[in-house]
Amino acid sequence: MKNNVPLKAICFFMLFCALSFTIKAQSLQGGAIEATSVCLEYNVPAPDINNIAAATGGVQPYTYQWEAKIDLSGWAPVVVGGNGLSCSPGILGYNTNYRRKVTDANGAVSYSNEVRLYIISDFFAGRVTIDTTLQYAYFLPGSIIPKLNSSPADKGTGNYGYTWETATNPSGPWSEIIGETELTYRPAPINTVGTYYFRKKATDAICSNTSAYTNIVAIHIVNSLPFNQAYWTYRYPCVFPNNLPSKLEGLPPMGGTAPYTFQWEKKGESDASWTPIFGETNQSYQPPIINETTQFRRKATDANGTFAYTNDDAIYYVNTIPDPGMIASNETAIAPNAPYDAAIDIKSASNFYNGGYVWQSSLDNGNTWIDIPNYTYGTYFPSTYTSPSTICYRRAIREYCASDVRDTWTNTVCIQPTLPLTDGTISINGGNTACNTPGSSAVTITGTPATGGATPYIYKWQIFDGSNWVDIANTNSESYTPEVLNYSAKYRRVVTDANNTSLTSNEVIVSIQSNSPLRGGLIDGPIVTCSNTAPGIINNIIDACGGGGVFTYSWEASTNGGPWVVIAGADQPTYNATNISENTTYRRKIGDGCGSATYSNEVEVFVYPEIEGGTLTPATQSVCAGDVPELLGLTQNCHYTNGNVTYQWQRATSPNGTWTNLNGATQPVLLPKASNTSSYYRLMVKSSVCNAEAVSTVAAVMVNNCNGKDLSNNENTLQPSTLSVRDGMKLYPNPVAKGQTVSITLNGNSNTNYKATLRSIDGRTYSSTIEGAFSKGLQIKLPTNLVQGTYLLQVSNGTKQWIERIVVL
Q: Which helix (H) or strand (E) holds 529?
A: strand 528-529
Strands 446-447 and 426-427 come out as: antiparallel
> Considering the domain boundaries, does residue 233 fall inside one?
no
Same domain for 739 and 766, yes or no, is: yes
Rounded CA separation 556/590 (Å): 11
Q: Which residue did the predictor score with more confidence, 405 or 331?
A: 405
List the domain range (segments joined by +) for residue 246: 238-317
DSSP single-letter state for residue 174 = -
Count, residues in the chain: 809
pLDDT score at 748: 64
Give yes or no: residues 313 and 330 share one domain.
Answer: no
Residue in 382, 450, 457, 446 with CA at minimum distance from that of residue 417: 382
What does the DSSP 8-state code read for residue 480? B
Q: What's the pLDDT tens digit per position in 149-183?
A: 999 999 999 999 999 999 999 999 999 999 999 99
In this structure, are strands 801-808 and 723-725 parallel, antiparallel, or unpaired? parallel
β-pair partners for 701? 621, 679
What count of other Cβ atoms lies within 10 Å of the Cβ of residue 731?
18
Q: What is the pLDDT of residue 698?
A: 94
Distance CA 128, CA 214 (A): 6
Q: Which CATH number is 682's domain given? A: 2.60.40.10
* 591 closest CA partner among 573, 567, 606: 573
| Average pLDDT of the segment spanning 506-515 | 82
Amino acid 390 reads: T
pLDDT score, position 16: 33
pLDDT at 336 over 70: no
DSSP letter string, 97-109? EEEEEEE-TT--E
> How many other C-beta atoms are found inside a 10 Å radius of the C-beta of residue 66?
24
Residue 764 has pLDDT above 90, yes or no: no
Residue 410 sits in the same domain as residue 434? no
- Cβ partners under 8 Å of residue 175, min gap 6: 165, 166, 167
Torsion of CA 718, 721, 725, 730, to 10 degrees: -170
pLDDT digits (tens, 9 = 90+) for 601-624: 999 998 888 888 888 888 899 999
HSE, CB side, 13 Å, CA atoms: give it for residue 507.
Answer: 12
Closest CA to 429 of 596, 593, 598: 593
Q: Which residue among 675, 704, 733 closes a domain?
A: 704
Evaluate if residue 212 carries a pLDDT over 90: yes
Per the CB < 8 A criterion, the answer to whether 606 and 527 are in contact is yes
Positive or negative torsion for Cα 340, 346, 348, 351: negative
CA distance 217 to 137: 9
Instruction: Please tell me the distance from the alpha carbon of residue 647 to that of residue 665, in angstroms, as a whole number.
Output: 8
Residues in contact with 772: Cβ distance below 8 Å, sequence separation at least 6, in sequence order: 778, 779
My answer on whether 135 and 214 are in the same domain is: yes
Query: 373: Cβ–Cβ under 8 A, 6 or more apart, which residues?
Result: none
Contact between 315 and 239 under an 8 Å Cβ cutoff? The reply is yes
495 C-beta neighbours (distance < 10 Å), count? 24
The helix/strand/coil state of 727 is coil
Q: Nearest CA to 425 among 502, 478, 489, 475?
A: 478
Q: Is residue 514 part of a domain?
A: no
Any idea what the Cα angle at residue 533 is, between residues 531 and 536, rounded to 5°?
130
53-87 pLDDT per residue, tens? 999 999 999 999 999 998 877 888 887 888 999 99
Domain membership of residue 32 (yes or no) is: yes
Q: Is residue 609 part of a domain?
A: no
CA pair distance 383, 386, nearest whole angstrom:
8
Whether residue 778 sits in one domain with residue 695: no
- Measure CA of the first residue to CA of the last residue in the chain; give whole Å: 71
Q: What is the pLDDT of residue 264?
A: 94
What's the CATH number where 47 sits?
2.60.40
Query: From CA 683, how far away is CA 694, in angstroms rounded?
Result: 9
Among residues 472, 506, 540, the one where a domain terminates is 506
Residue 310 · residue 294 · CB < 8 Å = no
Per residue in 374-432, pLDDT (tens digit) is 899 988 887 655 667 788 999 999 999 987 899 999 999 988 776 788 888 999 888 88
Is residue 372 domain-shared with residue 455, that is, in the same domain? no
pLDDT of residue 134: 54
Is 517 inside any structural domain?
no
User: Does residue 667 lie within any of the structural domains?
Assistant: yes
Check whether residue 585 and residue 632 sit in a common domain.
no
pLDDT of residue 12: 34
pTM for this model (two decimals): 0.41
Split at pLDDT 50, 70, 90, the class of 100 is very high
| C-beta atoms surrounding 17 within 10 Å | 11
Which range, 71-80, 273-282, 701-710, 784-793, has the best average confidence (pLDDT)? 273-282
Q: Give the pLDDT confidence score for residue 10 in this predicted structure.
A: 34
Residue, of 352 and 208, whose pLDDT is higher: 352
Which has more pLDDT, 673 or 454?
Answer: 673
Instruction: Looking at the structure, tell me whether residues 8 and 115 fall in a common domain.
Output: yes
Give residue 275's pLDDT.
Answer: 96
Residue 721's region, left for phi above 0, alpha for psi from -120 to 50, else beta, is alpha
Cβ(678)–Cβ(650) below 8 Å: no
378 to each of 147, 356, 358, 396, how far by Cα in Å?
Answer: 37, 9, 9, 10
| 340 lies in the same domain as 310 | no
Domain end among 347, 381, 415:
415
Quick one: 137 and 203 in the same domain? yes
Count of CB atoms situated within 10 Å of the CB of 390 = 13
Does residue 515 lie in a domain region? Answer: no
Q: What is the mean pLDDT of residues 730-746?
A: 81
Can you list the positions of beta strands (E) in 114-167? Answer: 115-119, 128-130, 138-139, 148-150, 160-167
Q: What is the DSSP letter of 136?
A: -
Q: Which of 62-76, 556-570, 701-715 bottoms out in mean pLDDT, i.e. has the lowest?
A: 701-715
Question: Do 391 and 465 belong to one domain?
Answer: no
What is the structure's pLDDT at 788? Answer: 79
Q: In the prediction, which pLDDT does 709 show?
A: 46
Is 485 domain-assigned?
yes
| Angle at alpha carbon of residue 715, lines to 709 and 719, rounded to 5° | 70
User: Considering its fold, how many domains does the chain have in total?
Assistant: 8
Whether residues 244 and 307 fall in one domain:
yes
